[in-house]
Structure 1
Amino acid sequence: MSENAILPVKVSLTEGDFYTLWAPLWKEHGAEWQAFLGDDDNVLLFRSPEDLLVFLEEGSPHDLTSHPKWKSFESGPATRVVPVEKDYYDVIGAPALLAERPSYVNVSTLARIFRLTRSLGEVTSATETTVFFASHSVLGNVERGYDHFAEDRGMSEWSAIGRAVLTNWSKVVSSLDEQIRIVDVDDARTADAAARIAAAREEVEKKKAETEARRKEEAEQADPYDTTAWTAAGIDPVKISLQGKSVYTLRTYVDRQPVFLGKFGEIYTFNSSKLLLRWMTENDDHDLAKVSTWEDLQLSANAGELEVMVHQDNAYSFTGLVHDIGRGPEAVDTDQMARAYELMADAADWAQDDSLNSYFLANPRMQDYISYMLGAPGTSGYVPSEPFNDHAEGWKELEEMLVKRFSKF
């Protein structure tokens, strides 16, 4: 219940079900206040939300006009006078709840009824009500929730509340009955208000449906990988398919620099995702263990809650590249080549062994070829020409350099 709120409520008293407005406790100029829709003498009750809306639109004076949020409430749609389900307070029916067991629903419902009843009593100075709550401290325990009554003494306290209510509740309700006034309004205006409330409800439902459809569409378009523990940790499973085999490892970036699962330039690779998870549970002597979120992943793996999901951005396939390079530039999938080269460059950067740069210094035409294929600047007008076998062999050497970094293949 937010501070400064004005709530439409449905209240059941001796003469039936009625509607009014309740402003629960709020603070203003260092003092605490609470109020109901009323005049100098009574709390005003209405037979329907429509009657309540008509009264408010007539501009009749009442106590809530001085509330700090009144102007905001007054400018709301016609549905502002319609209570939600949780704002139904069956005051006269409270004893029936206590005749049953202290379930979650019964305890929470009774707590809300007590809250409104006590507020009504304090605002209207209904003596029997204020004395009842002041004299029975056990009533406050319903605010502790269902769990409190699930403890050893829970049933005895629930019974104590029941006895207090059984003995005094009729006097409490009678004292409130004396402080209310039922307001009747013109039936014609009520009918008009009903039409406007129905139209406003329809508009709310329409917007709700549109919002739900938008959320559903966003959920369908969302990447499921974004909700995994891997995304939360910022460490990604990597799958590498090369020379007819596939291996798994892990990688992250720290200050934009790649860090692989491994040590001293060796990438720890696994032939299956299950082997990778099993290894994670028992090992932390590697470079990724220095990453702050590694322990989170390790705990999840130990609890059996972690599954390897490889995002498409972290799946690298070298399959067929050597053959395609040998056929000529038009046969090569440059996106596939660019991603494969990205992985080789990341591995070399992490290992800090300068092997890739050394290879290109010794084979400058291979560097020109890759720059040309990937559209990198600095090719100096170079254009690949037949035969392309040398380029295919050069790419195969780069693949072999990568494989030598793997712990298993």
Structure 2
Amino acid sequence: MSSPAIVPVKLSLTDGDYFTLWAPSWKEHGAEWQAFLGDDKGLFLFTSPARMLAFLNSGEKHDLRSHPKWSAFEALPADKIEPEKKENHDIIGAPALLAGRPSYENVSELSRIFRVTRSLAEVTAADDAVLFFASHSVLGNVHRGAEHYAGDHGMGEWTAVGRTVLTNWRQVVESLDAQVRVIDVDEAATTEAQAEIDAARISAAEARAKAELAAKEAEEQADPYDSSIWGLAGIDPVKITLQGKSVYTLRTYLDGNPIFLGRYGEIFTFPTTRQLSRWLVENDAHDLAKVSTWEQVMTHANAGELDVIVHPDNQYSYQGLVADIEKGPEAVDTAQMSRGYELFADAADWAADDSLNSYLLANPRMQDFLSYMLGSTGTAGYVPSAPFTDHSTAWRELEEMLLNRFSKF
């Protein structure tokens, strides 16, 4: 995430805490710029965020109006004016950080203080502060982070930074103090601005609560399968129940085309999920091995962590369909039939043979019946009529065609 172009900051100097806006760096017309809220006479500082907002609401002129992102900042809610915790810069208290060890917190905070102090010095032409940073190269290593001070010479260099700051920091702070110009703002306008900030805080809190609730509800409604290895890899275990038996295999789709665990048109099937997972560890001569996410599955399989989970959407049962078709359309579960036909078609498409289409072309009554039952177009005016024995027989033959593709049953 990129840093905001204009940042509210809190600056602790000799006479207290002040608030202003900082534009750390931007490029315009090939040149790099930095700025604080102010004008050609100097920096604007405020004793509270509400006073700063009241000043901005007044329409008074200031240099940041020419910033390319000013309009975007101005359009933000009123609490935009309050600094984040990391933008609270205790400039006068910097030496205290160096009295401690170069921990992540100490080095990070000191780095932020150095950065804003140097920017302040350069923007306000605080000569002593500018000279301090220009004259001591050892200060630049603070921006490298705590890792820089973790080596054999780390503590020695951290101590050197401490001595440099201890000797010169008072002069640095005093040079900045001389640039302080606290802007006086009308009390009534300040009170109104504070009300705007409070309202924005409440609105933001309500939005966060709403987002958290939505996220919690989404988490509760999320399908655990989506975060399983199968969901992440996009390869699904499939359970097929046919003629009173169940077998398991795997299937995925690549560019909308089905790919089964198998080879040369034969679908490798297993009576249990345990046998399926064991077989995968010792065999890689199958079409799924070419799928880019297959390695993810095998990493779990080789570690003994592959739990074969069949999602309800990938369970296909043909139980009772032949008998129901023989009774008539009203007895048939069309959802069950549709899913069964989906598997017929997927298997034929993967095997790249024309067996299914050829069978239906040779049995136009069955083709019309399926179109009618599955809601396909092209059957206007067609209504199935008894007897339905031919249809049930044809469906049984389609089941046999699928079964003949299985390696085991």
Question: What residue number does 1:73 align with?
Answer: 73
Question: What residue number does 2:34 align with?
Answer: 34
Question: What residue number does 2:386 align with?
Answer: 385
Q: Aligned pair in 2 of structure 1 residues 38, 292: CA closer, same or farther (>3 Å)?
A: same
Question: What residue number does 2:207 align with?
Answer: 207
* 2:374 equivalent to 1:402: no
SS, match of residue 249 in structure 1: strand
- 1:4-403 correspondence runs (5 A): 5-151=5-151, 153-221=153-221, 223-227=223-227, 230=230, 233-299=233-299, 301-302=301-302, 307-357=307-357, 359-360=359-360, 365-376=365-376, 377-378=378-379, 381=382, 383-386=384-387, 388=388, 391-403=391-403
**Contact map agreement 1:368 1:379 (CA 8 A) in 2:** no
How many matched pairs?
408
Offset at residue 49 of structure 1 (A)? 0.7
Structure 1 range deviating more: 208-217 or 242-251? 208-217
**Contact map agreement 1:369 1:384 (CA 8 A) in 2:** no
Q: Distance in 2 between matches of 1:143 and 1:4?
A: 19
In the alignment, structure 1 segments of 5+ residues that lack a partner are none
In the alignment, structure 2 segments of 5+ residues that lack a partner are none
Offset at residue 107 of structure 1 (A)? 2.7
Offset at residue 172 of structure 1 (A)? 2.1
Q: 1:77 is aligned with what amino acid?
A: P
Q: 2:283 is aligned with what amino acid?
A: N
Offset at residue 27 of structure 1 (A)? 1.2
Q: Aligned pair in 2 of structure 1 residues 389, 14: CA closer, same or farther (>3 Å)?
A: same
SS, match of residue 95 in structure 2: helix
Post-superposition Cα deviations, 1:268-301, rounded to whole Å, max 9, x if no partner, equal 1233444444444443322223334434443454
SS, match of residue 182 in structure 2: strand
Q: Distance in 2 between matches of 1:93 and 1:274?
A: 65
**Contact map agreement 1:41 1:179 (CA 8 A) in 2:** no
Q: Distance in 1 between matches of 2:80 and 2:306?
A: 47
Q: Distance in 2 between matches of 1:115 and 1:243?
A: 75
Q: Distance in 2 between matches of 1:176 and 1:297?
A: 61
Post-superposition Cα deviations, 1:72-99, rounded to whole Å, max 9, x if no partner, equal 4344433232212222112122223333
Q: RMSD over aligned Cα, in angstroms?
A: 3.2
**Aligned-residue identity in percent:** 64
Offset at residue 12 of structure 1 (A)? 1.2
TM-score normalised according to structure 1 size: 0.85
Offset at residue 335 of structure 1 (A)? 0.7
**Contact map agreement 1:371 1:379 (CA 8 A) in 2:** no
Q: Distance in 2 between matches of 1:27 and 1:260?
A: 55
Structure 1 range deviating more: 234-243 or 339-348? 234-243
**Contact map agreement 1:10 1:17 (CA 8 A) in 2:** yes
Q: Distance in 1 between matches of 2:404 and 2:181?
A: 89
Offset at residue 249 of structure 1 (A)? 1.9
Structure 1 range deviating more: 3-12 or 217-226? 217-226
Q: Distance in 1 between matches of 2:156 and 2:281?
A: 48
Q: 2:386 is aligned with what amino acid?
A: S
Q: Aligned pair in 2 of structure 1 residues 75, 383: CA closer, same or farther (>3 Å)?
A: closer
**Contact map agreement 1:4 1:26 (CA 8 A) in 2:** no
SS, match of residue 92 in structure 2: coil
Offset at residue 323 of structure 1 (A)? 3.8
**Contact map agreement 1:3 1:24 (CA 8 A) in 2:** no
Offset at residue 375 of structure 1 (A)? 3.5
Q: Aligned pair in 2 of structure 1 residues 359, 81: CA closer, same or farther (>3 Å)?
A: closer
Q: 1:25 is aligned with what amino acid?
A: S
Post-superposition Cα deviations, 1:221-273, rounded to whole Å, max 9, x if no partner, equal 55555555545544333222333433322223345432211111111123344
Q: Distance in 2 between matches of 1:138 and 1:300?
A: 50
Structure 1 range deviating more: 292-301 or 14-23? 292-301
TM-score normalised according to structure 2 size: 0.85
Q: Aligned pair in 2 of structure 1 residues 392, 43: CA closer, same or farther (>3 Å)?
A: same
**Contact map agreement 1:260 1:267 (CA 8 A) in 2:** yes
SS, match of residue 105 in structure 1: helix
